[in-house]
Every structure is written in structure tokens, then in C-alpha cells.
Structure 1
């Protein structure tokens, strides 16, 4: 690190495969010309005089521990960030990101975030939209919903505002509990609120071994998806629940530009897969050119 700090490097990537985080030299913070920084399983000790990476464009942190420094404060010192990936942090309060801090990154084009790292106890569709609406240049959004608690909107399901994110084309929602009606309404809100969306990726997760009975999907009927611009849909860990089928049915019916839909069944799915394939053939498709592929097993 001493040597590299003298070379004016622009890109640095370090992956620590050991169990214990690697303590990095503070000399890293002398590499002020960095444009790309990727760290896995490391411990950082910013110096008191560190005032940021003024040229940093891409920042990817996975299981990175900050000592005596707030992570949210750190990213605000990288004003040109276009890509921010934050994943696999422990729930240590010193590393929780304040919503007001991340909202300052006006140049973001790609955001990958575990929502549970924000300093928020409960989430609603409106709150998530409020966050992403700060990023007018955002093109790709990846949200990890593990350990997130969602509640109903104060005005009822569907009380949300469509965003003006005209650049956002790709949305990935990970760990969606399709056994929860509130979570399903959130997914519906996100899709409806991003009218220019072209690529949608969803990974399902259940908090039960067997999903509970589906809630009445008619509760969402008053929220019309309208005409979506989706071209590609990728659905992972599909378990053939009624809530999942309801969403797939809605997407097929409201996506006249759809070209491909990929469905990856859960590894526990066997007989239900063939049953769903038969049901899928009967679902209405707004796009006559849409191809639906059921992949044998989740890869």
C-alpha cells in the first residue's frame, strides 16, 4: 500500500477469502486519484485528515468494517460516485447509513443496497420511492430486502407517488417474501411507479417452509399496472404459490413489449413445475412475441 500510494493508481480491488477481516493500511486513503475501489472482507481505519476520494466513480464494499468513522459520512466524501454497491454488512449501528447521507449522491447511475443498512426501522413503498427519487440519473437499482420490515401505507395500499426516474431501466428485487401481502403490494408499487422499466429481476424467499395461503389478490385490483415497457423478466426461486402466479399473470397481461421471461423454479419444486407449465400456457399475454422459459433448476 505504501508503494501504490505513490503511484497515483486509479483502480484497486482486494478480495480477502479468510474468515477474519483484513486490516488495510491507512495508506489506502492517500490514493486520492482512485476511480474504482472494490473491497471484500476488510477493515478500514480512515485517517483524521482524510477528506474523501474526489475522483472516485465506482465503489463496491462487501463486509467492510469501518473503525471510528461513519460509512454514510465516508460516501458523502465521494461526490462523483456513479456506482455504489453495499452488501453483507453486519448489523453494527456504527455502520448504519443515514438516508440523508446517501441521498446526497446526485451522480449515481447504479445503486446496489441492502435496505436494512439504512437508519430506518420500518419501510413503506412511499419511503423507498422518496429515497430513489433523489437520483435523477439512476439507470440500475438493486435492492436487497432481507431483514426489512414493511408496513402498510397510512392511506392504504397504493398510496404512493410515481417517480420521475426517466433513466431507470433495470430493477432487481432480492429476497421477496411472497407469503406477505404487504411485500407483494410493495413489489407491485415499485413496478407501477417506474414506467420506463425494461428489465425486471426478482428473487423470491419465504419465511415459512410451506407458504401460507395467498391473500386476496383483488385487494390490489384497483392499482392498474397500465402499459409497462418491460422487455425482460427474470424470476428466481419460484415456488408456484398463488401470489407468484398472480404477479406473473399481471406482468404478462400488462407488458406488450415483452420479449423474454425466465422462470427459475426452486430446487424443492418437482411435480408442481409441470402443473405450472400447463397453467402458464393458458395465461393471457399482451405481447405475441413473448417467450417464457422455465429453467429446470435454480443455477
Structure 2
């Protein structure tokens, strides 16, 4: 019994079978795919069969957990400069031990250890470029030390998925652009020269980026974009929206009013060339810089037949233009299924805009497919009650309306708001009001 427990061998036909070394290659790859890089590397001690499996594995993920483990468990007693050198050497050793192509590479750069400033970083980028890397994530947490992407990066012609955080892109003269990129995510990225992400791009996500005007060549009649997100960038170029007819998901946000306050486009023109749009996310700061447009509280010139999800963030209902934009978007989306509105309250009067005139228009609002409404940060103003009433009486398929009040000092205010909402008539008898 002791011998059996010690060896843990299985008998098959009188001969000992090493089950872990007899696993199919596909199953070994599946196991390694689910392990962190450091644990995957340790599997090489299992047997001779496993010794060559990890070095040929096409993925190297040096994520935050692994980097933190290396720093705090192995280099914690060293000063930061020595930690930087040791960490850089460890990553170099990982590349040296890896013999196969690296098709999927992720590197996390700690805030206090700018390993991207070492000479080794350019070598790592060259290695993955030569390997034909397809998925690349460079996550630089050191915000005051942006990573200046080396020229080898622009030779990664096989890239399909790219994520960059806190980097600087300055493509070399004559760079023809990427040709296989499908998805790109940029955060805290500066772009300093004209850059093409390729004609295959379908998803583009930019947050707190500068120099995005250098991507103008991306927005032509041949683009295949289906998802576009631009949040907190220095500017938004409205001519781009004339060439994205395949777009299905759009998110635009400013989070603060631009210093120029220039209004250059109407809401109608913004979405006019997006017939396939199914999800739309807009914030109030962005809506402020839009021109109201004629009859903006009624309908857009082109009905958004495919819009299913509408999310409006930081909406100030006491602003006439924003109230009109909200109603215009909702009225123009007959197949809307989910509507979410996050309210923002300023110093103006809570009563704000009287929506009663909008409710009695000869062109009534009918939301026959709307099932869920979510309105957050209510304070109990007249405008809010009118908006809720307008939605409730116009939505015969409504199943639930989720409401949340802003934190209030007096609990009776919350009770009062809930009581008044409960008394509003509903087109759908099954509509349930849920307080969050």
C-alpha cells in the first residue's frame, strides 16, 4: 500500500503507464492554455515528453499577477534599480527558453519599474515581430513614462488584435500600414504621424488619446468598422461618421465640455449614415456640443430601425437641448428594447424643462418593443416624472422599469418619489417597477 501511494502508478497489462506523458498533444496544449506563464513553464519537469511542450507554446503572457509575483517574492529585498534589471533579465530568459513562434504576447509594465526603458524591450519586440505575432498587448501602468514603440513594432504584419496602454506611436517614414488588424484598443496613446490600421479593422476603441487625427485615412468608403468607441480624446472628427455605414456599436463621450465649445454638427447628421446601428452610447457632455437642429425633439430624418440598446450618460434634463436630444433619439428608435439613462444634476433648478408639450404632439411616441427602462440618480423633479410618465404610457411591451434615486439626506424624499411614480399610468399592466 505504501509503495502504491508513493509511486502513484497505474498498471496496464503488467507494465507501468505514465499517463501524464501519454496525453494527446491537443490535450497538453489545452492544459497549458489555461495556465499562467510561470506555471506552464514548470510543466517541463513532468517528463521528457513535457519538456519540449511549453517552449513550443505560441503564447507568452507576462501579466500583472506574474510580474507582481516576480517582484515581491523574488526581488523584494532589492532596490528598485536592481529589481528593474533582474525583472528585465528574467523576461529575456523566458524568451531564450522559448523556441517556437510567439503568436500571442502580453506584457504588463509596473508603475514603479519602467522595464520598457531598458534596451531589452526593443529586443523583445523584435523577437515577437520575427515570430509573426498576431495578438499583442502592452499594458504600461507607468503613466509618466510612456513607452515609445520601437520601429520593429511596425513590422508586425500578421497582427490581428492590438491593445496599447500609455504608449507613443510614431511610424517610420514610408510605413504602409497594418494589413490584418481586426481589433485595436488604445488607451493613453499619443499618435504622432499618419497611421493606417488597415482595411480589415472592425473594432476601434480609443480612450484618452491624442493625435487621433492621424487616423483619418482609416475612415474611408472601404472601411469595415462595426464598433467604434471614442472617449475623452482631445477631439472628435465628425467627417469620420460619413463613411461608417457598417457600424453596429457606437460610443462617444467627452466627460467634460471642450474649451472651445464649438458646435459643428447636428444629432441628425451624426447618425444619418449608420443604418445598421444596434447599440448607441452617448454622454451629456458630448450632446452639449451638438447643434439642436430643426424640430430636434421630434424625430430624426432617418429612423434607426436596428437600434436595440440606447445608453445615455450624465444627462442634465434641465438643459433644453439635452432633453430634446433624449426624446428625439427615443422617438426615432421604434425597435428599442433597452433604454438606460444616468442623470446628472447641476446648480440649475431641479424642475428644469416642461416636457408636457412634447407629450401631446400630433406625432405620438410608440415604443412597441421596449422591455426594460433604467433611470438612475433621480431627485424627484417635475421633468423626471414627466419623462417617466411619457415612457410608461408609450411602451405596451414594457416588462420592467428600474429606478434609482440620488443619495438623499431625508429618507421621506425617496418614499415620496416612489409613491408618485407608482401612481403613473402604464400602457403595460405587467410592467414592474424595481427600486435599486
Using the size of structure 2 for normalisation, the TM-score is 0.58
> Is 1:44–2:169 an aligned residue pair?
yes
- The structural deviation recorded for 1:5 is 2.6
- The structural deviation recorded for 1:162 is 4.3
| C-alpha contact 1:37 1:59 (8 A) present in aligned 2 | yes
Cα gap change, 1:266 to 1:24, in 2 (>3 Å): farther
- In structure 1, the residue matched to 2:433 is 292
Of 353, 357, 369, 1:219 maps to 357
Aligned pairs (5 A) from 1:96-115: 96-114=235-253
For 2:307 and 2:158, the matched residues in 1 are separated by 29
- In structure 1, the residue matched to 2:231 is 87
For 1:44 and 1:278, the matched residues in 2 are separated by 56
Alignment partner of 1:189: what SS? helix
Of 143, 158, 178, 1:33 maps to 158
For 2:157 and 2:333, the matched residues in 1 are separated by 36
Cα gap change, 1:263 to 1:47, in 2 (>3 Å): farther
- The structural deviation recorded for 1:242 is 1.6
Cα gap change, 1:159 to 1:245, in 2 (>3 Å): closer
- For each residue in 1:91-118, what CA deviation from the matched residue of structure 2 results, as whole angstroms up to 9, or x when unmatched? 3xxxx3321224323332211122678x
Structure 2 portions without partners, runs of 5+: 1-124, 195-210
> Is 1:272–2:272 an aligned residue pair?
no
Of 379, 389, 392, 1:239 maps to 379
- The structural deviation recorded for 1:157 is 4.6
Higher relative contact order (CA 8 A, sep 6+): 1
Aligned pairs (5 A) from 1:133-282: 133-146=272-285, 148-153=288-293, 155-158=294-297, 160-208=299-347, 211-221=349-359, 222=361, 224-268=364-408, 270-282=411-423
- For each residue in 1:247-276, what CA deviation from the matched residue of structure 2 results, as whole angstroms up to 9, or x when unmatched? 111111111111222222223464322111
- The structural deviation recorded for 1:190 is 0.5
- The structural deviation recorded for 1:183 is 0.9
For 2:141 and 2:407, the matched residues in 1 are separated by 28
RMSD in angstroms over aligned alpha carbons?
2.9
For 1:53 and 1:145, the matched residues in 2 are separated by 35
Cα gap change, 1:58 to 1:103, in 2 (>3 Å): farther
- For each residue in 1:69-103, what CA deviation from the matched residue of structure 2 results, as whole angstroms up to 9, or x when unmatched? 452452643723222222232x3xxxx33212243
- In structure 1, the residue matched to 2:181 is 56
- The structural deviation recorded for 1:184 is 0.6
Cα gap change, 1:60 to 1:156, in 2 (>3 Å): same
For 2:142 and 2:126, the matched residues in 1 are separated by 23
Structure 1 portions without partners, runs of 5+: none
Of 36, 40, 65, 2:190 maps to 65
Cα gap change, 1:131 to 1:30, in 2 (>3 Å): farther
Using the size of structure 1 for normalisation, the TM-score is 0.82
Aligned residues: 285
- The structural deviation recorded for 1:21 is 5.9
Of 133, 142, 150, 1:9 maps to 133
Of 111, 136, 144, 1:20 maps to 144
For 1:200 and 1:243, the matched residues in 2 are separated by 17
